[in-house]
């Protein structure tokens, strides 16, 4: 993937990690924020739409409230977020106004992006902000999010915002300058990867699980974000934000990892399906079905071996290959109970089993999007690699 100047992108989502904005003892890093806003202003002057996904609410709230070190209880972090978010939004608004830019705050919950109607509604508000030239400052609504129903990390939230708004570039700024073949603080032989053409299982394996004290995400959530973004045709950069004006630094050739967008971006509806964070169930399929899906066909009951979960018709389900790897996501054509009854059966038998002529496919190809290695060759290669 060639590195092109940031000004050549049309719409850029910038995710900023807590550690960049908030210092544990001194609070908000105002000078850094002002410099960041100067970078944003320069991009906007060049005609680029800019959206910011800003972490830091909980970290800032902790520092304002002077909460002790260590893990917070849910209600403590919700209160910290309530205190911190108001300060965070004000800081962004003030810093952007130095360049006469208006900021608009958007707080999202997981449901706002998982439920289609709410998703379209949030998207319309963000589009309107961009239309009037404002910079949306987005965060998760941590004051109401509970542990089961939340993003928890802003990497995936930012990827979701990028795909939701049709951005062509997502920049993840944190204290990590990019992807290494192994965690660099643990492995002295870790090699830096400058460009990633495709997020393969090998790339995923490099992500590990580490996170720094202030941020929830680690490389894991950044790679998950990369999958969401690149599938939708959006490029991604992981870069360090520890310098002043990190966007200028990227332009100047600073070390960063660039992830190429997928060559065949899917439709907006399929983007929404692929980006669902919590599929309601799983359809475990055989090798024949894996090959058929790879060739762009629908998923028929005959190729399904096992159903997991309680889902309704129209819910998002994950399709799992015999290797255990997710290969696709789609909208279920049947609810879980019916799906169980017709599992492994021919489509022509459906009427006799269910008592009515149902649809031939368990998941129709129009409702299905590939999210993992699709062809039988890569499945085989994986198996060979596993045995090697
Ligand atoms: N939403 C959290 C906050 O603003 C940050 C989540 C993250 O670090 O990714 O404090």
377: pLDDT strictly greater than 50: no
Is 18 close to ligand 1, i.e. is its CB under 6 Å away?
A: yes
> Taking the mean position of all CA atoms in its chain, how far away is CA 301?
30
Ligand 1 centroid to Cα of residue 386, in Å, is 36
CATH for the stretch 6-264: 3.40.1160.10
Is 15 close to ligand 1, i.e. is its CB under 6 Å away?
A: no
Ligand 1 centroid to Cα of residue 361, in Å, is 40
Residue of 140, 159, 173, 225 best suited for mutating to test ligand 1, as the one with most atoms within 8 Å of CB: 140
Ligand 1 centroid to Cα of residue 206, in Å, is 23
Which ligand 1 atom lies nearest to the CA of residue 140? 1
User: Which pLDDT band holds residue 388 (cuts at 50, 70, 90)?
Assistant: very low
Is 218 close to ligand 1, i.e. is its CB under 6 Å away?
A: no
* pLDDT for res 281: 96
Is 222 close to ligand 1, i.e. is its CB under 6 Å away?
A: no
Residue of 92, 153, 212 best suited for mutating to test ligand 1, as the one with most atoms within 8 Å of CB: 153
Residue with CA nearest ligand 1 atom 5:
55
* pLDDT for res 148: 65
214: pLDDT strictly greater than 70: no
Ligand 1 centroid to Cα of residue 347, in Å, is 47
202: pLDDT strictly greater than 70: yes
Three-state DSSP at 343 gives: coil
Find out whether 225 and 157 touch, Cβ atoms under 8 Å: no
* pLDDT for res 372: 81
* pLDDT for res 374: 61
- Residue 139 makes CB contacts below 8 A (sequence gap 6+) with 53, 54, 55, 56, 57, 85, 88, 105, 106, 107, 108, 154, 157
274: pLDDT strictly greater than 90: no
* pLDDT for res 70: 87
Question: Of 206, 242, 328, nearest to 29 (Cα)?
Answer: 242
Alpha-carbon gap, residue 92 to 84, rounded angstroms: 12
Question: Of 43, 57, 237, 56, nearest to 130 (Cα)?
Answer: 43
Which ligand 1 atom lies nearest to the CA of residue 54? 4
Pick the range with the lowest mean pLDDT from 146-155, 234-243, 307-316, 355-364: 146-155
Percent of the chain with pLDDT over 90: 64
Residue of 20, 83, 152, 211 best suited for mutating to test ligand 1, as the one with most atoms within 8 Å of CB: 152
Give per-residue pLDDT as tens, 117-128.
888 889 989 999
Is 172 close to ligand 1, i.e. is its CB under 6 Å away?
A: no
Give per-residue pLDDT as tens, 22-79.
998 899 999 999 999 999 999 999 999 999 999 999 999 999 998 888 888 888 999 9
* pLDDT for res 217: 53
pTM for the model stands at: 0.79
Pick the range with the lowest mean pLDDT from 98-107, 186-195, 373-382: 373-382
Ligand 1 centroid to Cα of residue 152, in Å, is 7
383: pLDDT strictly greater than 50: no
Alpha-carbon gap, residue 39 to 366, rounded angstroms: 41
Residue with CA nearest ligand 1 atom 6:
153
Distances (CA, A) of 239 to 128, 133, 187, 281, 337: 29, 26, 20, 35, 46
Which ligand 1 atom lies nearest to the CA of residue 221? 9
Give per-residue pLDDT as tens, 293-307.
999 899 999 999 999
Which ligand 1 atom lies nearest to the CA of residue 61? 10
Exposed (0-12), middle (13-18) or buried (19+): which is 345, by Cβ within 10 Å? middle
Pick the range with the lowest mean pLDDT from 29-38, 43-52, 362-371, 377-386: 377-386
Annotated domain spans of the chain:
6-264, 277-387
| Neighbouring C-beta atoms of residue 93, cutoff 10 Å | 16
Q: pLDDT higher for 159 or 380?
A: 159
Q: Do domains 6-264 and 277-387 have the same CATH topology?
A: no
Mean pLDDT across the stretch 330-348?
Answer: 94
Is 240 close to ligand 1, i.e. is its CB under 6 Å away?
A: no
Alpha-carbon gap, residue 247 to 351, rounded angstroms: 59
Find out whether 78 and 107 touch, Cβ atoms under 8 Å: no
Distances (CA, A) of 104 to 53, 125, 275, 322: 12, 10, 24, 46
Tell me the angle at which helices 30-45 and 74-97 cross, rounded to the nearest 10 degrees: 60
Ligand 1 centroid to Cα of residue 153, in Å, is 6
Q: CATH class for domain 277-387?
A: mainly beta
Ligand 1 centroid to Cα of residue 387, in Å, is 40
Is 374 close to ligand 1, i.e. is its CB under 6 Å away?
A: no
Find out whether 246 and 172 touch, Cβ atoms under 8 Å: no
Ligand 1 centroid to Cα of residue 59, in Å, is 8
Is 216 close to ligand 1, i.e. is its CB under 6 Å away?
A: yes
């Amino acid at each position: 993937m060639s590195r092109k100047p940031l000004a050549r992108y049309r719409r850029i989502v910038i995710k900023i990690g807590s550690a960049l904005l908030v210092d544990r003892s001194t609070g908000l890093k105002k000078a850094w924020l002002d410099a960041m806003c100067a970078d944003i202003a320069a991009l906007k002057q060049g005609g680029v739409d800019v959206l910011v996904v800003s972490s830091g609410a909980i970290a800032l709230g902790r520092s304002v409230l002077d909460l002790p070190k260590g893990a917070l209880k849910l209600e403590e972090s919700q209160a910290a977020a309530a205190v911190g978010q108001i300060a965070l939004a004000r800081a962004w608004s003030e810093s952007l106004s130095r360049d006469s830019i208006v900021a608009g705050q958007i707080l999202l919950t997981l449901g706002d992006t998982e439920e289609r109607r709410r998703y379209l509604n949030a998207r319309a508000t963000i589009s309107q902000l961009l239309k009037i030239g404002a910079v949306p400052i987005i965060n998760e609504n941590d004051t109401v999010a509970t542990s089961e129903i939340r993003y928890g990390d802003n990497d995936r939230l930012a990827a979701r915002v990028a795909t939701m708004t049709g951005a062509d570039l997502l920049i993840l700024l944190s204290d990590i300058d990019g992807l290494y073949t192994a965690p660099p603080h643990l492995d002295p032989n870790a090699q830096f990867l400058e460009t990633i053409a495709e997020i393969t299982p090998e790339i995923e394996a490099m992500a590990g699980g580490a996170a720094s004290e202030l941020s929830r995400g680690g490389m894991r959530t950044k790679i998950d974000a990369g999958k969401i973004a690149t599938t939708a045709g959006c490029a991604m950069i992981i870069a360090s934000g520890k310098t002043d004006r990190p966007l200028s630094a990227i332009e100047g050739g600073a070390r960063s990892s660039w992830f190429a967008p997928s060559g065949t971006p899917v439709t907006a509806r399929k983007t929404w399906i692929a980006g669902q964070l919590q599929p309601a169930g799983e359809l475990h399929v055989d090798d024949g079905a894996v090959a058929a899906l790879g060739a762009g066909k629908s998923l028929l009951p005959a190729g399904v071996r096992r159903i997991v979960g309680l889902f309704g018709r129209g819910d998002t389900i994950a399709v799992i290959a015999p290797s255990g790897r997710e290969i696709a996501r789609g909208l279920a054509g049947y609810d879980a109970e019916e799906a169980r009854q017709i599992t492994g059966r021919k489509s022509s038998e459906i009427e006799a089993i269910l008592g009515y002529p149902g649809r031939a496919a368990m998941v129709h190809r129009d409702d299905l999007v590939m999210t993992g290695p699709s062809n039988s060759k890569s499945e085989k290669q994986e198996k060979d690699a596993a045995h090697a």
